[in-house]
Amino acid sequence: MNDVFSAEDDEFGLIGSCISGGNDVCFDAFAEVPTEAIQHFQLQKTYELIKGLVSQSKTVSLPELMKEWKRVNQSEAVPFEAWNRCDELCPSPASYPMFAKSVLEAHYRRQLRFAGDRLIRESAVSTLSVHQIVANAESGLTVEVSKEAVQTSKTIVGRFIDQTQERFERKGQLSGVTSGFHWLDVKTDGFQFGELAILAARPSIGKTAMAIAITQAAAVRNKIPTLFVSLEMSDESIVRRMVSSVGSIPMQEIRTGEMTEGSFKSMGVASGKIANSPLHFVSGSSANGIASLTAIIRRSVRKWGIKLVVIDYLQKIHGSRAAEKKTYEIAEVSGKLKAIAVDTKTAIVALAQLNRENEKDKGGRAPKLTDIGESGQIERDADLVLLLNRDRTQPSGEAIIAIAKQRDGECGVVKLWYDGQFCRFSDSGVDT
């Protein structure tokens, strides 16, 4: 290895492993090492030829490689010297993991260097905001193995079996983050990592109360590192609602300060539980732009191991540039939230506002997917869409949460109960 950015000898060893190890080693290599991770020009071409041979169900060997090289690269001499070196530097196909690790390490270091170079260049561009520059640089720090665009059925089936085995071993435990509501978890298996969930409702129905309930279940009860992003209420207001819910203290008592001795004691216990939970807050202008928000999420994931991000609410987030129409801006925000969920492997729950269409009908009607305000792109990007509805004129009563979209599951309706004095939702005990 010449330096930390180069792994030329290991690249030769990797190709040698593919040639001498047969198709099984090749399958492993294709799933783990992207073509761009190999710097040596002839070896990169050889790697692509090996992929072609394997895709044709041909056995990888030097004679087959030579025929394929002459067919594809007619004007270039066959790189016998390079291939001989591959054989010399690969004592055994069993050394493949070592070669792959070194090649990927050098590839990742080059990515880091390119991200740093980009940061230096863009810092001098006055038309770019600081948040956008930081977001661009941090996106280059995600050093994950790139997956090939086309993968074999053997690779996919292997991953499917591994995932199914993992689900079997959970013995009924959720694969995602709990919502805190039994029947909703039964239908969704929790909020999934790497996915974007949308919780939508009209104003004063209880979007924020639901967000607080989800946060409380994840961070306070189950100790899951959670980031709560509030673009509408202050952090203190969110905590006040959470204390009311956790401690069963009427909101009116906390708001007016007319509390009994028992309420004070309950407030202390509830405050202690919240303070000792892995819950983090961000609010206001520091997170109202999509570039700054994604940068905050990336840093929080690295610093605190955040697994769940709750955002109140999506239409309050500004795009990276002034859009001609609000729908274009919301579409950009929605797409980038989905991308950051995938990149950081976090579960993201974003609240959204519904338009007035369901209230125009006489007596009202249940909200539908098409009622999501501003942009249809939200419902397209989301992996899960939940529509919350209740009679806002009643301080307490039954509430309905409709699973309007679920990529990997069924839609349906879950009944909840809303208790207005605590701004709290709970299971109704009824599944529909």
Query: What domain range includes position 145?
Result: 8-158
Confidence of residue 364 (pLDDT cuts 50, 70, 90): low
Confidence of residue 131 (pLDDT cuts 50, 70, 90): confident
Shared domain for 60 and 91, answered yes or no, is: yes
Of residues 280 and 2, the one with the higher pLDDT is 280
Average pLDDT over residues 257-263: 82
Instruction: Write down the pLDDT at residue 33.
Output: 87
CATH code of 312's domain: 3.40.50.300
Q: Choose the final residue of a domain: 158, 191, 225.
A: 158
Instruction: Write down the pLDDT at residue 432.
Output: 46
Of residues 238 and 360, the one with the higher pLDDT is 238
**Is the pLDDT assigned to residue 2 strictly greater than 70?**
no
Q: Is residue 183 part of a domain?
A: yes
Q: Two tokens at 178?
A: 């709990």
Shared domain for 183 and 150, answered yes or no, is: no
Confidence of residue 149 (pLDDT cuts 50, 70, 90): low
Average pLDDT over residues 336-361: 85
Does residue 217 sit in helix, strand or coil? helix
Q: Is residue 81 part of a domain?
A: yes
Where do we find the tokens 């999509």?
A: 290
Distance CA 236, CA 220 (A): 17
Distance CA 26, CA 60 (A): 9
Shared domain for 274 and 355, answered yes or no, is: yes
Q: Is residue 272 part of a domain?
A: yes
Please provide the DSSP assignment of 89-151 as one string.
Answer: H-S-GGGHHHHHHHHHHHHHHHHHHHHHHHHHHHTT-TTS-HHHHHHHHHHTT---PPPPSS-
Q: For the full predicted model, state whether its pTM sits above 0.85.
A: no
Q: Choose the final residue of a domain: 127, 158, 189.
A: 158
What is the CB-side half-sphere exposure of residue 163 using CA atoms within 13 A? 7
Q: Is residue 3 part of a domain?
A: no
Length of the chain: 432
Average pLDDT over residues 349-373: 77
> In terms of Cα–Cα distance, which of 184, 310, 206, 313 is closest to 251?
206
pLDDT one-digit tens code per residue, 198-220: 998 888 888 888 999 999 999 99
Handedness of CA 36, 38, 43, 49 (dihedral sign): negative
Shared domain for 354 and 414, answered yes or no, is: yes
Q: Is residue 372 part of a domain?
A: yes
Instruction: Write down the pLDDT at residue 321.
Output: 60
**Is the pLDDT assigned to residue 18 strictly greater than 60?**
yes
Shared domain for 138 and 205, answered yes or no, is: no
Q: Residue 398 phi/psi, 5° resolution?
A: -70, 145
CATH code of 110's domain: 1.10.860.10
Q: Is residue 1 part of a domain?
A: no
Shared domain for 180 and 151, answered yes or no, is: no
Q: How many domains does the chain have?
A: 2
**Is the pLDDT assigned to residue 258 strictly greater than 60?**
yes
Shared domain for 182 and 106, answered yes or no, is: no
Instruction: Write down the pLDDT at residue 259.
Output: 81
Shared domain for 51 and 96, answered yes or no, is: yes
Shared domain for 358 and 216, answered yes or no, is: yes
How many C-beta atoms lie closer than 10 Å to residue 363's C-beta? 5
**Is the pLDDT assigned to residue 61 strictly greater than 60?**
yes
Shared domain for 142 and 239, answered yes or no, is: no
Instruction: Write down the pLDDT at residue 361.
Output: 67
Shared domain for 306 and 394, answered yes or no, is: yes
Distance CA 127, CA 169 (A): 52
Confidence of residue 146 (pLDDT cuts 50, 70, 90): very low
Shared domain for 141 and 61, answered yes or no, is: yes
Where do we find the tokens 């930081």?
A: 134
